[in-house]
Chain A
Amino acid sequence: MNKNITQSKGHFMTALSRLFRKKIAVVCIAILIIIYFSGIFAFLIAPYEYTAQDYSNIKKPPSIEHWMGTDRAGRDVFSRVLWGVQNTVIITFVAILTGSIFIGVGLGLISGYRGGRVDSLIMRIGEISSSFPDILLVIILAATLRPRILGFIRYLEDAYNINGLVKTGIVDYLVISLALVSFGWIGTARLMRAQVLSIKQNQYIDSAKSIGASTSRILFLHLMPNAISPLVVSITMGMGALVGTEIILSWLGLGVQPPRPSLGRMLLEGGSISVLREEPWLLIGPGIVVFLLIICWNLLGDSLSDVLNPRTR
């Protein structure tokens, strides 16, 4: 073998370097990292508590002390946006990890690889949950699950003597994530199944089988890596929609409950005519953050699909 042949960089690295050549993608990644980090570390970054009221500073426009102004109770809008971002970030991440990645990919792999009865069962269940008008299902679930989950958490608190579990907002997180997961898994499951069905035909799967590779080895070492590109694209594109749905839920009052701030509720409060007339910054601050969050996921998804999808390249 000639040692001078340069080693190819591999599919992942070529895709990554192609992605970093796109200016929009780089900007979006940077903005997303900033928003996500400042949300996760809201307790370090936020200059004020989200409930801290300052009655000498009511309805003040943005200033050096209050970057996004203050609301009608004298609370710092910037701090509340940071905490709101934290809620959105946690919920959407939990939903995408459990729904799209864990359940969706898992069921898609099984259904495509096994075929037969298991396949039709999973796909039938998927068909049922996708025939709901999805946003309606999410709203119904969020509305009906809350008391049940609240009861369950209260029971846990009593049974194991854990205090303040309800106060952490875990009920809200569970309710919204469950509601979002309910339809979030179908898309990735179908995608994964289609991928597996076509990859399964390849000779390397047969040869892996013939040398006695176990099912899990074939699934995770041979099938998964080859099916991952469209998955990454669809999940990135789905994130924007997921963030949007979470905000719709909290806008309707079904998301994170006050006094914990949520972006949807802030948009609701900032969007009324009287507020628009007098304190437009109540809408502008949260609005820009929400918009950046959604557009960056969408644009990143676009760039990724350009990079990873050989057909459009």
Chain B
Amino acid sequence: MWKYIVGRLVWIPFLLIAVAFITFILGRFGPGDPVEVMMGTKYNPVVAERIRSEMGLDKPVMVQFYKYIQSASKGDFGESFRFRGRSVSSLIAPKMIVSAKLSLVALLISISIGLPLGFYIAHKQGTWIDPLIVSFSVFFMSIPIMITIPFLLWIGCLKTNLVPCSGWGGIFDSRIIIPALAMGIPGVAGMLRIMRATTLDVLGQDYIRTAQSKGLHYFTVSTRHVFRNSIIPIVTILAFSLAGLLGGAFITETIMGIPGIGRFSVESIFNRDYPVIMAITLIGATAFVIANLMADISYSIIDPRIRYK
């Protein structure tokens, strides 16, 4: 087991370097010269040449990459092309916090609807309630977020004036309701399904029958025995759900005018601000790889039958 974890940990830096290299190459050979982007309309070939040598952009690509990795491993992602003089870290840190808050609320919505429903319909297996609710969850999962948001806006903002149409004011602000709902509802289907599957699995176990046959109350069995055991596998997928929210974040943050990382990365891609794109990709990849590893480890802790070599 320990050997497995160490092996995976050793592999992580290589993985991240490969990710960084691909993004780096895409950036260098992609459209737009960074210096031109930086100088905008005030382009001057002489100054451009000087900036290039100052930033080391005239050196071979591999040398540039080596330098980048060296500083990135210390947490320094360089300077933004677009916003001169601002370090990438200082630009993206506040936006990451905004996105993290939004994603957490969205995740909370998925969990608080998905888990109880999944738990409930597992008990109703074989009746019409089970397939009906599963179909409903697929229904909500299938509406693209660029349709959900206008629809919610139409109800909440245009027709009833309950919430402001756009903006951001933190978690305890009414403006978070629409984006969080729009991002959280599609996730319900996933939660519901996994909860249903694990609950069904637990319901078929012998210890549940034992608990029932020794005369325990139905409520006691389902909270103490079933729920506690079926909730465990959910923990391992939470990290992935957060990663899955990223796709929705691009669109939600753009429509709703939320200063988060999704909107900022789209802007940076269009502005050819490669240091920012590199940093976001690397941070995202790191988070994902670590979440992956933790999920695998927690699987084997929760279920000792799973052994890794």
- Which of A24, A143, A148 has most chain B Cβ within 10 Å? A143
Chain A: minimal CB distance from B70 (Å): 21
Pair B289/A131 contact, Cβ less than 8 Å = yes
Contact among B19, B144, B150 with A290 in the assembled complex (CB-CB below 8 Å): B144
Residues of A within 8 A of B289 (CB): 131
| In the complex, chain A residues whose CB is within 8 Å of the CB of B30 | 143-145, 147-148
Main secondary structure, interface of A, reads: helix
Q: A283–B150 contact, CB under 8 A?
A: yes
B296 smallest CB distance to A (angstroms): 12
CA distance A303 to B243 in the complex (A): 27
**Closest residue of A by beta carbon distance from B27:** A144
A23 to B252, CA, bound (A): 35
Q: B250 — which chain A residues lie within 8 A by C-beta?
A: 135, 139, 248, 252
- A112: CB under 8 A from chain B? no
A267 touches B146 (CB 8 A): yes
Tell me the complex Cα distance, A139–B254, Å. Answer: 15
Indicate whether A13 reaches chain B with its CB closer than 8 angstroms: no
User: Once the chains bind, are A280 and B284 in contact (CB under 8 Å)?
Assistant: no
Q: Are B146 and A131 in contact (CB under 8 A)?
A: no
B246/A131 in contact, CB under 8 A? no
Q: How far is the CB of A115 from chain B (nearest CB, A)?
A: 14
Contact stretch, chosen from A40-48, A223-231, A293-301: A293-301
With contacts A127-B15, A135-B246 taken as known, whether A291 is within 8 angstroms of B150 at the C-beta atoms is no
B166 to chain A, nearest CB (A): 8
B31 touches A271 (CB 8 A): no
Q: In the complex the two chains form, what is the Cα distance from A135 to B261 in whole Å?
A: 13
B270 touches A291 (CB 8 A): no
* B142 beta carbon closer than 8 Å to chain A: yes
Q: Is the CB of B158 within 8 A of A277?
A: yes
Q: Considering the complex, give the chain A residue whose CB is closest to the CB of B193.
A: A302
B294, CB-defined interface residue at 8 Å: no
Instruction: Determine the chain A residues whose CB is within 8 A of the CB of B292 once the complex forms.
Output: 131
B207 at the interface (CB under 8 A from A): no
Q: For residue B154, which residue of chain A has the nearest CB?
A: A276
Nearest residue (CB) in B for A275 is B150
What residues on B are CB-neighbors of A270 within 8 Å?
150
Residue of A133, A240, A253, A270 with most chain B CB atoms under a 10 A cut-off: A133
Question: Cβ of A235: which chain B residues have Cβ within 8 Å of it?
Answer: none
Given A128-B18, A148-B29, A271-B255; A136-B150 close (CB under 8 Å): no
Indicate whether B165 reaches chain A with its CB closer than 8 angstroms. Answer: yes
Please state if B153 and A133 are interface contacts (CB–CB under 8 Å): no
Contact B29 A144 (CB under 8 A): yes
Name 13 A/B residue pairs within 8 A (Cβ), A-sorted: A133-B246, A134-B247, A135-B250, A139-B250, A140-B26, A140-B269, A143-B31, A144-B31, A240-B142, A251-B251, A267-B144, A287-B147, A294-B142
**Which residues does A use to contact B, with CB under 8 Å?**
24, 127-128, 131-137, 139-141, 143-148, 240, 244-245, 247-248, 251-253, 264, 267-268, 270-273, 276-277, 280, 283, 287, 290-291, 294-295, 298-299, 302
